[in-house]
Amino acid sequence: MPAPIRLRELIRTIRTARTQAEEREMIQKECAAIRSSFREEDNTYRCRNVAKLLYMHMLGYPAHFGQLECLKLIASQKFTDKRIGYLGAMLLLDERQDVHLLMTNCIKNDLNHSTQYVQGLALCTLGCMGSSEMCRDLAGEVEKLLKTSNSYLRKKAALCAVHVIRKVPELMEMFLPATKNLLNEKNHGVLHTSVVLLTEMCERSPDMLAHFRKLVPQLVRILKNLIMSGYSPEHDVSGISDPFLQVRILRLLRILGRNDDDSSEAMNDILAQVATNTETSKNVGNAILYETVLTIMDIKSESGLRVLAINILGRFLLNNDKNIRYVALTSLLKTVQTDHNAVQRHRSTIVDCLKDLDVSIKRRAMELSFALVNGNNVRGMMKELLYFLDSCEPEFKADCASGIFLASEKYAPSKRWHIDTIMRVLTMAGSYVRDDAVPSLIQLITNSVEMHTYTVQRLYKAILGDYSQQPLVQVASWCIGEYGDLLVSGQCEEEPPIQVTEDEVLDILESILISNMSASVTRGYTLTAIMKLSTRFTCNVNRVRKIVSVYSSSIDVELQQRAVEYNTLFKKYDHMRPALLERMPVMEKVTINGLTEIVQSNGETESAVLETKSPPSGLQPLSQANDLLDLLGGTDITPVIPTAPTSKPDSTGGELLDLLGDLNLTCSPVSAPVPQIAQPPFLLDGLPSQPLFSDIAAGIPSITAYNKNGLKIDFTFERSNTNPSVTVITIQASNSTELDMTDFVFQAAVPKTFQLQLLSPSSGVIPAFNSGTITQVIKVLNPQKQQLRMRIKLTYNHKGSAIQDLAEVSNFPPQSWQ
């Protein structure tokens, strides 16, 4: 077998390979050669082969067949062999391989070797990849080495101890006695590593923390020496003596000083000294200053020191180096909550950073600016932020726009200014505005009653120009729909009025409808707006009617539905039209999040209704007794598992009702009304006015289906004459204990020959002392006229605990199913 090629040759040949395939070929050939040489147990060349293997591993090829070879190398006596062996072990093995356990013995022997270099190697390996078992076994050895006089070894041992502690925290106490003398070192290297060890220990356990607090004065002294002492060529980095050690000590001080007043006091002077004495021209100085700032922030320092820290950060911001600015912005963001005023002083610098070219700096500056906005500076800040919005990248626009909305909502000095700002945002970044902003904007506009004319005029002018930005068009068309008459009348105090005729308004709205750029949501808005104008505008009713009827055969279901209903309004219910299309009353204040929940909690199958509706008080003038509104009207009854009645929405108190749609419009037979979440009065209105079935057969005795733990459930029956196989059961649940039962859910199952339909219950809470009941309706279809049987499951919360119960009901009276 010819001698395997040297490492250099291999590397050279691999690098000459021109394509990926060539390289792979060469590597495979070499791998095969290596494998056969391993099998031959050739000692002399083994280290060369393993070195080659490592190179291939670095390139990304599988090399696990070399792991055992590494072990053999470690066991050999030659230093080079050992070195490559340990290197291979560190690279190729990790905790997941089983082979590494075999190394433990080797390492143990090596740790006691006479040569310090071998010991060093062993420590290295242990420190890099020792698993917890290995650490446990070898921790004793490491500790012994911590006490040797050889500083080279002590350094390595200290860091090895760090690794051990990370893996097996319980062994920390073992290292405690050795650390006592560590801080008395003269050797910087050892000092450094021992500081690291102490840091690690303190981070891990609070007891250690208390123990090491006594060392604070010593640490302070060391730091002072470092700064004071002159030039020391060994550890110097461009004029500052051993910055790494300084940084480390500062970090340890930070951990020790957290939440502890005494140590913090001791540190105050030294921190101030460091902060003022370090020169900032080079990155090194800045690194130390940064660490100092972080430390000051964390410990309980006096306010003067904090101000100093923030000033340093401000100075960083002016630095030309992007890294430093980035670092400063990030830390300012963290501190802005606590030290708001101090950061305000640097506001102008931060705002300047908005104009920087670098993306991450811009983002951080933007976040920081939003955090800094308050009542005083809002106008100036807004100007800057709007300018920023104009010029920034698309991925920021959405965040910036929402940020501007939030800020202007909180701090707007006047309504007019607020609306102006919103308009500018919409025109500049319209397409990036989030969807939920549109309803909140609309609500805002309705709230500012005196601004209506002004608003609608400006919006009209805005969309005259271009109508490609969807949120802008949505808001504009809604407003025009509501306040069209104000627009046409041409009176406006704030701005010079424009003369607009009704035709022009309708022209614009129609072109929006036709344009390809409008989303279907926008079209929905526009159609409704046109409809509302039919009452506001006096002379163009026919035109509106024509437009609306065009869309009654549109492909888009939403549009078609609306158009059809509006058409019917014209035809059959013309007398109701003005009343229905009246102006919307002022809405209650809503948080931005509250809106989306309303849509889901209703659980009805109506198509999405976009506009928020006024609270129930506004309903009375509109519709008569038709609270259960549904565009289609003929929805199916809710499926078998009843929806747990959601708790009443507290924010708006508004159900999703459509201004126009009500059950009268549709021609389908009046089906069971879908009960809603609203307050009980509506439900009670709904049920009696819409009797379930036109003919009810009376006279079937009711039964008590379940009576346990104070919960009683009664079944009352009704048979329908129209459909003899359907039985309608109304359950009433009452509670005779002293505490309410909440989250009451009733579920039922019937044998396969039956079909069951459960409607939503009236509420989820059964009040105590039989003071009220929950009612729920069940419809059972029994085509084969079999004996009714039912299994019911009840879940509710009572006396703080959740209770579940199963029961079978079989005492149905024969009249109920025959």
Partner 1 sequence: FRNFKIIYRRYAGLYFCICVDVTDNNLAYLEAIHNFVEVLNEYFHNVCELDLVFNFYKVYTVVDEMFLAGEIRETSQTKVLKQLLMLQSLE
Write out the residues near partner 1 by the rule CB under 8 A.
7-8, 11, 15, 51, 54-55, 58, 79-80, 83-84, 87, 90, 117, 123-124, 127-128, 152, 155-156, 159-160, 162-163, 166, 188-189, 192-193, 196, 233-235, 237, 242-245, 247, 251, 283-284, 286-287, 290-291, 294, 323-324, 327
**Helices in 7-78 by DSSP H: which ranges?**
7-16, 20-39, 46-59, 67-75
**Rounded distance, CA 512 to CA 506, Å?**
10
Encoded amino acid at 75, one letter = A
In the complex, what is the shortest distance from the CB of residue 729 to partner 1, in angstroms, rounded to a whole number?
57
Strand order in the sheet with 741-749: 741-749, 790-798, 801-809
Closest CA to 544 of 580, 596, 602, 503: 503
Q: Please name which of 479, 451, 460, 620 lies closest in space to residue 536, comparing C-alpha atoms.
A: 479
Beta carbons within 10 angstroms of residue 387's beta carbon: 14
Nearer to partner 1, 293 or 656 (CB): 293
Q: CB of residue 681 vs partner 1: minimum separation in angstroms?
A: 54
CB of 237: closest distance to partner 1 in angstroms? 6
Enter the tokens of residue 106.
């080797």
Residue 780 phi/psi, 5-degree rounding, is -115, 130
Encoded tokens for 46: 């083994």
Rounded least distance, CB 392 to partner 1, Å: 24
The answer to whether the CB of 766 falls within 8 A of the CB of 738 is no
Least distance between partner 1 and beta carbon 366 (Å): 20
Q: Which is nearer to partner 1, 294 or 505 (CB)?
A: 294
Name which of 313, 298, 411, 405 is nearest 364 in CA terms.
313
Beta bridge partners of 794: 746, 805
Nearer CB in complex with partner 1: 190/429: 190
Measure the CA–CA gap between 102 and 293, rounded to whole angstroms. 47
Look at residues 447, 472, 483 and name the one whose alpha carbon lies nearest to residue 590: 447
CB 635 within 8 A of CB 604: yes
- Cβ-based nearer residue to partner 1, 245 or 500: 245
Task: Provide the residue type at 393 as one letter.
Answer: E
Question: Could you tell me the smallest distance in angstroms from the CB atom of residue 327 to partner 1?
Answer: 6
Look up residue 766 and give its DSSP letter.
B
**Closest distance to partner 1 from the beta carbon of 221 (Å):** 20
How does 185-197 read in b/e, with b if 16+ C-beta sit within 10 Å?
beebbbbbbbbbb
**DSSP string of 162-208, one letter each residue:** HHHHHH-GGGGGGGHHHHTTGGG---HHHHHHHHHHHHHHHHH-HHH
Q: What is the nearest approach in angstroms of partner 1 to the Cβ of residue 152?
A: 7
Smallest separation, CB 142 to partner 1 (Å)? 11
Its sign, for the CA torsion 276, 277, 281, 284, is negative
Residue 179 CB, nearest approach to partner 1 (Å): 16
Closer by beta carbon to partner 1, 133 or else 685: 133
Give 330 or 549: the residue with its C-beta nearer to partner 1. 330
Pick 65 or 79: Cβ nearer partner 1: 79
Nearer to partner 1, 142 or 794 (CB): 142
- Shortest distance (Å) from residue 597 CB to partner 1: 33
Quick one: 155 or 798, whose CB is closer to partner 1?
Answer: 155
Residue nearer to partner 1 on the CB measure, 162 or 354: 162
Nearer to partner 1, 234 or 393 (CB): 234
